[in-house]
A and B are shown apart, each in its own frame.
Chain A
Amino acid sequence: MADFVDSTESRSDEPQVSGKKPMPPGQVFIRHLFLILISLTTLAPFLWMVLTSFKPMNEVSNLNPIPIHWQPENYPEVFKQIPFAHYYFNSVFIAAWTTFLQVLTSAMAAFAFSRLRWPGRDQVFRLYLATLMIPGIVTMIPNYAIMVNLHLLDSYTGLIVPASFTAFGTFLLRQFMLTIPRALDEAAAIDGASAGTVFWDVILPLARPGLITLAIFSFMGNYGSLLWPMILVKSEGLRTLPVGMMFFDSNYGKATNLIMAASVMNIVPLIILFVVTQKYLVKGIQLGAVKG
């Protein structure tokens, strides 16, 4: 132990032979200042939203972001003026189901594209990937037509099913699954496992960071979805939060403080989701950059 301490101490006295030279303090300050300014540009709208949500109506257009008279009553007021809780439930319910189905279908497709051998596999995968190049707005009308034919307009199913498949998710999970050693599938096959068992008992548990990353992306995307629910839903009972807030905006056009309060409450689940799953998200984003 003593040797270890000694060697560490002596090492700190030695001149640095390799590695970068430490940055001069002035340069460190300038770099940090730049980073802080960049951070502020992303943080400022968020802060503005939170502060405005506490302002009385007559202070909303005031350029001073800090409320002079704090009005936390805006929050309960939101629940009084619109069926906010119900919209909340719809958003979470639809986003949760869509997320679950997207992760499941993407994982199954990714497994087929990464672990199973079948003729034309790579060609089909490329074709599937090519669908990423088609903007969602282009398929909106055909999707709507399908929903009409299936009598799924104005229903939870119509909101959930079309969003349950994603080429991006398949790609993300395929790349992740490619990093899992093939010897594990082979060991499982020799142990007696079918392809289904390999998928369920071996690959899925090991792909967890990838699944969580996709789940976060998927939940965020679907939770904030506006266009498809707006087109598909007529009845008020099926409105999601973004759609509901749009109606809220037109009914109470000048109640910007209430809109801001609703927005703050809208993003709370996303913030919680992000904080809880942050380490997986970062790991997932690094996929492909760092193998294994």
Chain B
Amino acid sequence: MSSVTLEQVVKRYGTVTAVKNLDLEIRDGEFMVLVGPSGCGKTTALRMIAGLEDITEGRVRIGEKVVNDVEPRDRDIAMVFQNYALYPHMDVFENMAFGLKIRKMPKAEIDKRINDVAELLDISSYLKRKPRELSGGQRQRVALGRAIVREPQVFLMDEPLSNLDAKLRVQTRAEIIKLHRRLGITTIYVTHDQVEAMTMGDRMAVMKDGVLQQCDEPMKIYNEPANMFVAGFIGTPSMNFVPVTLRKEAGGTFVVDSGTFILDAPVKDAATLEPWVGKKVILGMRPADMYDRNLKNPVEATEGNTITVDVDVVEPMGDVCTLALKAGELELVAVVDGGTQVKIGDKMPIVVDLSRAHLFDPETEKAIV
């Protein structure tokens, strides 16, 4: 096991900069998820840690050792690829033994390790099969097994679940989490799937356009997004963003005015809000923090947290119901309790949990509160 540190890492392809001044420390034994949309530089960052891409600027350390010029084979890492990259001409045993044979490990030790890992991953009965004779889920486990038998300092995983169907993905996700708990090996996991990022990582690093946006524990990122990108990327459906003007009322309370509705400001901290009075800001409300006032809610309805909207689309999912709403020209999405009785075309009162809402600077897109 070992920590991994990226210091001011830059990757350029010609004039295109794929990763910009990335600073990231993955602690010993930690499960770190790199998440972001396609082209955000997360895979490039992972490949630089693996040694599959040269580092244009900056330093990568594995433990105390700077590995910029160290060959992949000498970094003591193992990687699980998106398409598994199993050797098609070798059977499962040979696939898993390949790296061990190269390291000239005694045959008895190879056999023992492979049998132990095969048992752990429940692939013992496939050891003599070729990859083409396995299902996607089985191949995925073999790819994991090939990485585990090496007992490396660091695991690198590049979207290993993206080729699996939804059900298998959930199942394998849980298996990987359990495996990490059991082995305790430092793991860096790349995904574009925010559900994987939220559920798997001890911490997650959200990236966009090669720039690290925020790195923290998943719930902290969900509750306290650093900017509008992170706020919109994490959480399904995405956060509602409404351009509003911050005003200070006669009684000293702060409100936000969208032109269509007026709500109390998300926080009462005068010092934070004072500089923004009279200015345009962006109000961010998560769909799950919006409630049907006609049902029993955790938030007490007041004039300052309720808006009236038109129901545009109703998507009942059983336990919850996703609503597409209109407040004048504004389009909002809410996820309310499945017991809601609203129908398309209804006017309905929506209660917003303003303690969980956010304000963003419209220019920098950074969070104000």
Contact residues of A with B, CB < 8 Å?
181, 183-184, 186-194, 197, 201-202, 205-206
A-B pairs, 8 with minimum CB distance: A191-B99, A183-B85, A187-B85, A192-B102, A192-B73, A205-B89, A189-B72, A190-B72
| Interface pair B98/A181, CB less than 8 Å apart | no
Q: B50: which A residues are within 8 A, CB to CB?
A: 186, 190
Q: Min CB distance, B162 to chain A, in Å?
A: 14
Known: A192-B99, A197-B102, A201-B98. A187 touches B79 (CB 8 A): yes
Q: A197: which B residues are within 8 A, CB to CB?
A: 102
Q: Among B73, B82, B83, which residue has the most Cβ atoms of chain A within 10 A?
A: B73
B: number of interface residues (CB 8 Å): 24
Contact with A along B216-252 (1 / 0, CB 8 A): 0000000000000000000000000000000000000
Q: A183: which B residues are within 8 A, CB to CB?
A: 81-83, 85
Known: A205-B89, A206-B88, A206-B89. A191 touches B102 (CB 8 A): yes
A-B contact count (CB 8 A): 57
Task: Please tell me which one of the listed residues B52, B73, B83 contacts residue A191 in the complex, with CB atoms under 8 A apart.
Answer: B73
Give the CA-CA distance A194 to B73 in the complex, in Å: 8
Q: A194: which B residues are within 8 A, CB to CB?
A: 73
Chain A interface mostly helix, strand, loop or mixed? helix
| Interface pair B103/A192, CB less than 8 Å apart | yes
A-B contact pairs, 9 of them (CB 8 A): A184-B87, A186-B52, A187-B81, A190-B77, A190-B78, A191-B73, A191-B150, A193-B98, A202-B87
Q: B7: which A residues are within 8 A, CB to CB?
A: none
Give the CA-CA distance A269 to B281 in the complex, in Å: 83
The A-contacting residues of B in range 173-187, CB under 8 angstroms, are none
8 more A-B residue pairs beyond the given contacts A187-B81, A192-B103, A206-B89, with a C-beta to C-beta distance below 8 A: A183-B81, A187-B85, A190-B52, A190-B79, A191-B102, A191-B150, A197-B102, A201-B98
Give the CA-CA distance A192 to B85 in the complex, in Å: 15
Contact with A along B56-73 (1 / 0, CB 8 A): 000000000000000111
Q: A206: which B residues are within 8 A, CB to CB?
A: 88-89
Q: Min CB distance, B91 to chain A, in Å?
A: 13
Q: Among A188, A205, A206, which residue has the most Cβ atoms of chain B within 10 A?
A: A188
Give the CA-CA distance A187 to B146 in the complex, in Å: 10
Q: Min CB distance, B112 to chain A, in Å?
A: 19
